[in-house]
Amino acid sequence: MSANFRVTITDTIAVLTWDQADSEVNILTRPQLSELHDQLITLAGNRELTGLIIISAKEDNFCADLDLAVLEGIKSAAEARALAQQGQELCTLLAGLALPTVAAIHGPCLGGGAELALACDYRLLSDDPTTALGLPEIGLGVIPAFGATLRLPRLMGLKTTLEMLTGGAPCLGNQALASGLADGSFPREHLLLAARRLLQQHPPTGRPSRRRLLERLLPWRQLLCSRAARATRRQGGDHYPARAAAISAIAAGFNQDPAVGLETAAHLLGEMAMTDTARHLQQACRLRERFTTAAGSEAHHFNRVAVVGAGMMGGNLITLLAAQGVQGRLLNRSLAGLKTTLGWIRQNLAAEEQNGHLHPAEAELIRTRISYDTGLRGLRGQEAIIESVAENLGVKKSVLADIAREVPAETLIITSTSSLSVSELAQAVVHPGRVAGLHLCNPNGRQQLVEVVSGHKTTEASRQAVMALVGQLGKIPLAVQDRPGFLVNRLLLPYLNEAAHLLDGGVRSENIDRAMVDFGMASGPFALLDTMGLDIAAQVAEVLHRTFGERLEPSPLLALMASAGRLGCKSGQGFYQYKADQRCRIAPDLPVLLKLMPPLRKQPPASEIVDRLLLVMLNEAARCLEEGVVAEAAAVDTALLFGAGFPTYTGGLLRYANDRSLASVVNKLKDFEYTIGKRYAPAKLLQTLAENGRKFYEN
């Protein structure tokens, strides 16, 4: 008897239900591949069957992907090829059954589960907003190799397939229907019935190819693949070789015999599985899993949360809360400010609907969950209050004191801040143990990571409750100590400050940004400063300077930009000029405004720019570990990967340092200390590790 799959037969239609034992989700493992293969062999031998439905018994998912442990356990390219061949054999068996097959999908259907669905003749989806098909293997440094690179182009066309596989983003319900990936959408409770009715109509097995007319022409197919390859290179494709490998696999399957396509996919999986990039991407995935799990248990579940302050961050927070089913109340003293933020929320939701990222019904639910008012009316009865007013110590303390007077002593109070001391802010509150800090990382809180800051008097219960709330918002919570800049800004500001020093020294700003983007950063330092806001950056830089002295003395350029009203995106001009929130070009008046020296005739190589910026950040990370801002290297890497756009192909800043060797890092820092200044003096922890031949990660 199968442990994870059960078969029921009614009126000659078989229903194969996937229900992985002792798990809330279905995850495809190697034993399950064999188990499912045996089930299909048995079903293939039943000549009385007229159809097969594959469905999940799980409450909210079809399949969460291939088990990551399978990829992590691969020790050779040959082993990876064998895995691909096992999956290909299973999917080929399913696709070749002499009866029509339907995958009835509710919730995410990813990776190996999506490969199984593609091998079916038809795919019916529930109309739930979470239902999506995706092949995220690129994000793990490998490619889908069970046959998706052959089947997808015949369903969706070559162009759409290339976009889906190289991007790695899942295809949501409406997108799947429009592209031909899915054949219908139904309420979840009617999904199985809809699949039965489809099979009762005796539909044909196999599906006619949806190759577009032009795609029948070899030169056009070659042009599409060539364009996709160029696009991936522009997006850092050299750092992520699986993108190019996916294009090669698709081309081989589309242009040649299917057997050649399958063989090519298996071979390329073997190559990709052995790359450092794959290892690092899988390590980054484990970090995300680990720190997401730290959000805690269901004991802390919030239903009603108020946000005080209707600025950009307040608008982001209230939208996040409502999107996760929380009844959110947005409070602001200014009616005009409240109206502006509510209008911005409506515009964003409409845009998400229009681009297919949000189901219209879900967008309407989000809107209905947000109530609002002026003043502080309606705070009683809220389970938590998030203060999100201007980043000013006096203003925040005043508002926090007002909040504390309005709510019971046990109500959790959270302050949203990027740099201010949570301990000092909590002094304004009666019963300060219930106060904790929250820092949503830029741009505009869209990063996955949220820092949870414990003040000196924050209770463990309060910290755990805030961690749980962050997890409920779908974010990664990272507990940090109440030190200036916390962790993310403590690491980012020296990096950004060093970029300003380079600019002041005659290096072109476009060269600096290009060097860091080419390294793999999500944006260059000057683009990031504009996104963060030059006023906020100057403020955080000054906080760090007051605490750490000469080592973190800010470049005067940051204060000059802020005092000139050049605040970045929010003012329309910073280091770049903006139009309708879109970055246009480097501001041409920067040299005059900042009184810059003429650009150096011989600009430094990109490698030197990268070293100047990364090593000062790495040095600061070592000091954060020395001070106990966080307890381990994994927390530093998680913060930068998911809170600062650090390139995932590296595995994180400290893994990057490990791979480079700490001895060479220390030597380079000493060179910079001699030629540039004391801010590059190596941290004690770095020197100790290097001298003893140790690493940030020992395994």
pLDDT digits (tens, 9 = 90+) for 548-586: 998 999 999 998 998 899 998 888 899 998 886 666 788
pLDDT of residue 211: 53
Q: Copy the structure tokens of residue 678.
A: 């004391």
Q: What is the dihedral of CA 294, 299, 304, 310, to 10 degrees?
A: -20
C-alpha span between 640 and 644 (Å, rounded): 5
74 against 3, higher pLDDT: 74
pLDDT of residue 213: 63
Give the residue extent of every domain in the chain.
5-274, 295-482, 489-628+661-691
C-alpha span between 174 and 177 (Å, rounded): 5
Decide if 541 contacts 554 (C-beta within 8 A).
yes
pTM of the model: 0.91
At 121-141, the pLDDT tens digits run: 999 999 988 899 999 999 999
C-alpha span between 699 and 694 (Å, rounded): 11
Q: Which residues contact 245 (CB under 8 A, 6 or more apart)?
A: 143, 268, 271, 272
pLDDT of residue 403: 96
pLDDT of residue 641: 97
Which 3 state secondary structure label does DSSP give 358? Answer: coil
450 closest CA partner among 434, 428, 432, 473: 473
Q: How would you write 90-130 as a 3-class SS string? A: HHHHHHCCCCCEEEEECCEEECHHHHHHHHCCEEEEECCCC
pLDDT of residue 258: 86
pLDDT of residue 224: 83
295-482 architecture in CATH? 3-Layer(aba) Sandwich (3.40)
Q: Which residues are catalytic?
A: 115, 137
Mean pLDDT of the chain: 91
Amino acid at site 40: L
Reported as a pLDDT band with limits 50, 70 and 90, residue 230 is confident
The arithmetic mean of pLDDT across residues 82-88, rounded, is 96
Give 590-594's long-range contacts (Cβ < 8 A, gap of 24+). 590/509, 593/560, 593/561, 593/564, 593/566, 594/503, 594/504, 594/557, 594/560, 594/561
pLDDT of residue 446: 73
5-274 architecture in CATH? Alpha-Beta Complex (3.90)
Report whether pLDDT(212) > 70.
no
Report whether pLDDT(357) > 80.
no
The arithmetic mean of pLDDT across residues 224-250, rounded, is 86
Report whether pLDDT(412) > 70.
yes
At 279-330, the pLDDT tens digits run: 999 999 999 999 998 776 556 899 999 999 998 899 999 999 999 999 999 9
pLDDT of residue 443: 67
pLDDT of residue 369: 96
489-628+661-691 architecture in CATH? Orthogonal Bundle (1.10)
At 134-193, the pLDDT tens digits run: 999 999 999 999 999 999 988 888 888 888 888 878 888 888 888 889 999 999 999 999
At 506-554, the pLDDT tens digits run: 999 999 999 999 999 989 999 999 988 899 899 889 989 999 998 999 9
What percent of the chain has pLDDT above 70?
96
Report whether pLDDT(452) > 90.
yes
The arithmetic mean of pLDDT across residues 598-613, rounded, is 94
C-alpha span between 3 and 15 (Å, rounded): 16
Report whether pLDDT(491) > 80.
yes
pLDDT of residue 625: 97
Largest CA distance in the chain: 84
C-alpha span between 102 and 56 (Å, rounded): 12
